[in-house]
Amino acid sequence: TDAELHDLYAVAPARYRVLTALVLFHGMRIGEALGVRMGNVKVEPCRAPLLPRVTVEVRGQLQRLRDNGKTVMHYQTPKTDAGVRDVPVFGEFVPDVLRHMCRYAAPGRDGWLTVTSRGSAVFDTSYRKTLGEMRERAGVTRRVHPHAGRRWIVTRLAEAGATPAEIGQILGDKDLATITQIYTQVRQGRPRELMDRVGSTLQGTA
């Protein structure tokens, strides 16, 4: 639910808050979010008191691989053309993104947006463990995994009137069947909300 995601975000370690926002609220795959470089974050200045607009360019991903007996995070381009996309950041997360870029990101355009305290790339396994710890601290009882954010954003976009093709463009997924059959879920209470909305248009017409 919206509340559960916000509870998770509230207890996220400061270094991983923006990563959490990209994964749970913006539908980015964990490898894509870990593979965001500083140069992929576009900030459009605007006049105060308005917040600038922030867009994250998805141009690749960090994948965990074995190399000469060692496990490393390897950067690679998206598997499909659909994976190359620009993801607008929700306004409520913009201040955190700007703060994070100054305090926690690696320097330079090629520096990773999210790094460990030692300045290295974050392993997906490490973040999954952190997410589990966040779930316990937040008191969220249901299972939470990085892919849950994709299901959430698809459902919310569908409720907002987005077509499967438009949703696919935001998620970097051409498989519309997956979007409509697997990702899209019905929020608890949504049927009543929809029926009340339609019912309000019927008053006085019978």
Choice between 193 and 70, residue whose per-residue pLDDT is larger:
70
Strands 61-67 and 85-88: unpaired
Structural tokens at position 188 = 């608890």
Q: Output the DSSP codes for 49-97.
A: TSPPEEEEEE--EEEEEEETTEEEEEEE--SSGGG-EEEEPPGGGHHHH
Choice between 201 and 39, residue whose per-residue pLDDT is larger:
39
What is d(CA 146, CA 29) in angstroms, rounded to the nearest whole number?
7
The pLDDT confidence band at residue 180, using thresholds 50, 70 and 90, is confident
Q: Helix (H) and strand (E) counts for the chain?
A: 9, 5
pLDDT tens, position by position, 119-143: 999 999 999 999 999 999 999 998 8
- pLDDT at position 45, please? 85
- pLDDT at position 188, please? 66
Helix axes of 148-159 and 164-171: crossing angle, nearest 10 degrees? 140
**Residue 16 contacts by C-beta under 8 Å, 6 or more apart in sequence?**
114, 122, 127, 130
